[in-house]
Amino acid sequence: MAIQMQSGPPQVTNMFPSRKRSNLISVLIHGAVILMILIAGRVKPLPHPVSHVTLVAPSDISPWVPRLAAHGGGGGGGGDSTPASRGQLPRVALRQFTPPTAVIRNYNPQLAMEPTLVGTPQIVAVLPNLPYGDPNGVAGPPSNGPGKNGGIGTGDGGGVGGRKGPGYGDDDGGGISGQAHIVGSIVAPVLLTKVDPEYTDEARRARVQGVVELQIDVDSHGKPANIRVVHGLGLGLDDRAVEAVRQWTFRPGTINGKPAVTSAVVTVTFRLL
């Protein structure tokens, strides 16, 4: 039997790639990682819409408003296009230096004067943080109503209501009669939990930004009801805002310690970076 001998070192096939190829692969991997980091740093998530809740007034204050036997009345307004908003009346005094207003146009007056109605002074509580308005007005954003010469309502003369004069009631000439004041303690509802609405794809593509304003009632159980769009943006954002607010929960507002229906304005701000 013949055995063939091979001279020289055995030939071994290289099972590892070349150093140049390894370096190239390493450079490509590191470059891809760096590129992904840069892209991720440029892509920022959309901020959550900003929600703000403002108490307007109790929806139905008549059970807590006493009837006054005195005769008199008045009316006024500020030439607004919307009806007079619901609220409390100011203090009653013998003279009027400033008529009541539901819309504050100057937050820093040079000389601040307390608004009053003209009539026989009465010991009646005027509640802090509750806007002035017509006790028989509408629930909604503050409005002085379409009347004229100051005051609130559809009348004339610096009073509140639809008559003429610096008072409130069913007659003219000043004085107070009828349902006049809110007496007692009113506590606003407190937002406990909220759900933020999301952008719609259509609104995101169109880069729509702005504010959706909603008018809501908070019932005696703390649930939103009667949600209405006062100012919308369209492209599905109004519906998203309504759907989100419908899931909110509140601690209900109270009047004289009892849960009561209150109204509020909710503003949801949609913004893009």
Q: How confident is the model at residue 242 (pLDDT cuts 50, 70, 90)?
A: very high
Number of Cβ atoms within 10 Å of the Cβ of 38: 9
CATH number (3.20.19.10, 3.40.50.1970, 3.40.50.170, 3.30.2420.10) of 50-56+186-270 reads 3.30.2420.10
pLDDT for 43 equals 47
What pLDDT, on a 0 to 100 scale, did the predictor assign at position 211?
Answer: 87
CB 79 within 8 A of CB 94: no
Q: What is the mean pLDDT of residues 241-248?
A: 92
pLDDT beyond 60 at 56: no
Q: Is 113 exposed, middle or buried (0-12, 13-18, 19+ CB in 10 A)?
A: exposed
The rounded percent of the chain whose pLDDT value lies above 90 is 14
Highest mean pLDDT among 69-78, 144-153, 184-193: 144-153
Maximum CA extent, the chain: 141
Kindly report the backbone phi and psi dihedral angles of residue 54, in degrees, each rounded to the nearest multiple of 5, phi listed first.
Answer: -125, 125
Q: Which residue has the tokens 């259509």?
A: 202
Q: Does residue 117 register a pLDDT over 60? A: yes
SS3 for 74-137 is EECECCCCCCCEECECCEEECCCCCCCCCCCCCCCCCCCCCCEEECCCCCCCCCCCCCECECCC
Q: Which of 69-73, 77-81, 261-265 has the highest mean pLDDT?
A: 77-81
pLDDT band at 1 (very low <50, low <70, confident <90, very high): very low
Q: Which two tokens stand for residue 169?
A: 């009631």
Question: Poorest-confidence range of 22-31, 142-151, 259-268?
Answer: 22-31
The pair of three-digit structure tokens given for residue 121, joined into one six-digit string: 């002074």
d(CA 130, CA 185) in angstroms, rounded, equals: 11
Dump pLDDT digits (tens) for 153-207: 999 999 999 999 998 888 888 887 765 444 445 677 888 898 888 888 898 888 8
Residue 244: its H or E element: helix 237-245
Work out the pLDDT band at 108, boundaries 50, 70, 90. low
Mean pLDDT of the chain, nearest integer: 75
Delimit the domains of the chain by residue range. 50-56+186-270, 66-104+113-182
